[in-house]
Structure 1
Amino acid sequence: MSIAAKRLPNLHVDLWRYLMLVSHVRTGLCGAVIALLPLSEGHAHEIVGNRFFPATLGIDDPGVNDELSVPTVDAFRTGDVPSVRQRDVSGEFSKRITEDFGVSFGSTYTFLNPTDPTVPGANGFQNLETTLKYRLFKDPTHEFVMSVGLSIEWGGTGSQNVGADPFNTYTPMLWFGKGFGDLPDRFSWLRPVAVTGQVGYAIPARNFTTTFGIDPDTGDATADTELHPRVLNWGATIQYSMPYLKSAVADLGLPDFFNHLIPLVEANLQTPVANTLTSGTLTTGTINPGVLWIGNKYQLGIEALIPVNRQSGTHVGVIGQLHFYLDDIDPRGIGKPLFGRPVQATSPTGRN
């Protein structure tokens, strides 16, 4: 699960808008789908060799899967002066078109409560986001996977009173994952370690917005121009898989609950890199230590949100998520790629 220019991916959208977007995506990608038809049966989840790459809360995982993240809930204080208590309830639906190509839809409902009681709060939906992802490379021997794609934030589909932009933003993306199961025997205790990462370049469809008004003191007309920067969205995770430790390194005889855990730390950062005269170039974001509990058909995750500087927030926040593996829940129905054979059901706890 991913967080791009906004803190979380977006989930709520009315049914008509959702169906229209799916129709446009299918029409525009019809020719590409034919060229990408898989030649062999795929696997549920993003399993590369013995490595299972789970969905993470801060950045998107490198896989292409049929998944549902609902709900994802967070709470934190923004870096505004005075700060604002922000809570988000969001989710994302991901659907494979072929074994290697998929599309996801998401949205967020945001609650803003200023700490200054004289400032009114606001609630509303963020913009709908759509992400197209293609798995470019997969090396089971070295537990390495790479995907590329495009994330689109549809301007005007959310409420401007909670910060949703009235214009589209296009973000070319790259994701990767690498497990360390290929380390020599003397480093066997490090084999459960994996890293994932993403890099995106957010390009607003509008370079600036000019707001016209009247100076209350002089009565003269005023014009205020805000530049919309191009932003580098980047992040990474480091994970230690207890299921991998048990199944591929050594069974320590731990209680079963611990054999389902993946402790991890995520970094989710944004750096304005162009058109920055009014925004500056300061990097903002959070470092998120936490843990995932991995089941056969779903996973649970919780992480702290630690701001990297004052502009990123004023207190430690929290984020939690319930995530469903649709390709295991219904491998021949909603979990089957639209084009291609049914997936081969695979337990993430048995091959991790």
Structure 2
Amino acid sequence: MAHKTSVAYAGALIAAAALAGVSPARSHTIVGNRLFPATLSVDDPGVNDELALPSFVYAASANYDGTLGALSYTFAWEYQKTITADFSLAIGSAFTHQANPSSNGWGNIETQAKYVFYQNPEHEFIIAGAVNVEWGHTGASPDFTSLASPPDRYSTVTPKLYIGKGFGDVEADWAKPFAITAEVDYSLSTHPIDVTLQQDPDSGINYIALTQTPTRLTYGATLQYSLLYMNSYVHELPEVFRRLIPAFEGIFTSPVSNIGPSVPGEWTHTTTGVVGPSLYYIGNYFQLGVMAQLPINQASGKHIGVAAVLDFFLDDIAPETIGRPLFGPPQARPGRI
């Protein structure tokens, strides 16, 4: 009996691009005088009542020989609801249209529980954690198998850690608008190894196929310079700049275990990622953000991708109804932002 081994992997960063744009719980967080926007590479470190509709990601994969692979356009939504001021639940999903070859499909449904462990308003510092579940076989498409990253048949559980720090507590006025956020995820499949009996189409010989779903470490960070903060707490800016937060972001994914042997023509052991500048506009009731995503290597994509999000602040739109926690008081909001 012949024996073949294949490894499931995120080809050409379409999976990583989706991760950057459609993970649940996109929101804005306020700690002391600092507003952390809902960035497109990593989630912000807080919990809020938010609706992101839509999120958008465009990505172009590269084949192993360097030629252009699939082009994907992903449209996503996510809804986050605070249960208490420090705990939230979220749900989201995404629809992907792929060209070259052409196919369409809904991704699996994702849910997330998130909790803020620590906040220090004076130093604009926050730490939070979450558990995300991508529910296997909840995606729907007549031709999802032709997608570069089809929905998994099995669920994936991802513990997450978030951190945010604003520099409004430093003495230099020019440095006060700076802030950083970071996220680390560890994704484990509920079915890491799948053994199936298949048949070679040429010889007709049956063989055992072993498919491994790697455990993955995803890590990313943002460096922000908040003109919104500068206008509110340092010195007044022209109207056109007052609500903007430019940033530079990056997100990377590395397989860490259950990878299997290196397979010619596949990036089974390769770290993939994107970096790039971004810009966020913070309105009274919504946020609009856009990011240019530059692939870090050939495995990550063929050329620059784009991500964008329109995020509605339900806690500001309806603070006494759907925008407040189910239990307990709402979060404190400073008046000058």
Alignment match, 1:17: none
- Is 1:180 the counterpart of 2:167? The answer is yes
Q: TM-score, normalised by structure 2?
A: 0.86
Give me the whole-angstrom Cα distance separating, in 1, the residues matched to 2:180 and 2:117: 18
Distance 1:106 1:80, change over 3 A: farther
Q: 3-state SS of the aligned residue for 1:182?
A: coil
- Residue by residue, what CA displacement relative to the aligned partner does 1:143-202 show, whole Å, maximum 9, x if unpaired? 100001101000000144231100000001100100011112xx3201100000100100
Alignment match, 1:96: 82
Q: 3-state SS of the aligned residue for 1:194?
A: strand
Q: 3-state SS of the aligned residue for 1:73?
A: strand
- Is 1:202 the counterpart of 2:187? The answer is yes
Distance 1:45 1:202, change over 3 A: closer
Deviation at 1:277, TM superposition (A): 1.3
Query: Aligned pair count?
Result: 306
Alignment match, 1:319: 307
The aligned runs of 1:1-352 (5 Å cut-off) are 6-9=19-22, 46-81=29-64, 82-114=68-100, 120-159=101-140, 160-161=144-145, 162=147, 163-184=150-171, 187-251=172-236, 254-278=237-261, 280-342=268-330, 350-351=336-337
Q: 3-state SS of the aligned residue for 2:117?
A: strand
RMSD (Å) for aligned C-alpha atoms:
2.0
Alignment match, 1:23: none
- Residue by residue, what CA displacement relative to the aligned partner does 1:14-66 show, whole Å, maximum 9, x if unpaired? xxxxxxxxxxxxxxxxxxxxxxxxxxxxxx95221211111111211001100
| Contact 1:169/1:203 (<8 A) preserved | yes
Between the aligned residues of both structures, percent identity stands at: 41
Q: List alignment gaps of at least 5 residues for structure 1.
A: 12-43, 115-119
Which one-letter code corresponds to 1:277 in the other structure? G
Deviation at 1:285, TM superposition (A): 1.3
Distance 1:51 1:100, change over 3 A: same
Give me the whole-angstrom Cα distance separating, in 1, the residues matched to 2:121 and 2:94: 35
Q: TM-score, normalised by structure 1?
A: 0.82
Which one-letter code corresponds to 1:230 in the other structure? T
| Contact 2:57/2:307 (<8 A) preserved | yes
Which one-letter code corresponds to 2:168 in the other structure? G
Distance 1:112 1:211, change over 3 A: farther
Deviation at 1:344, TM superposition (A): 5.4
Deviation at 1:281, TM superposition (A): 2.9
| Contact 1:45/1:327 (<8 A) preserved | no
Runs of 4+ in 1 over 4 A off after TM superposition: 342-347
Q: 3-state SS of the aligned residue for 2:197?
A: strand
- Residue by residue, what CA displacement relative to the aligned partner does 1:120-152 show, whole Å, maximum 9, x if unpaired? 421000111111000000011111000011010
The structure, 1 or 2, with the larger RCO (C-alpha pairs under 8 Å, 6+ apart) is 2
- Residue by residue, what CA displacement relative to the aligned partner does 1:258-308 show, whole Å, maximum 9, x if unpaired? 111000011111111011115633210111311001111111111101101
The structure richer in strand per residue is 2
Distance 1:113 1:83, change over 3 A: same
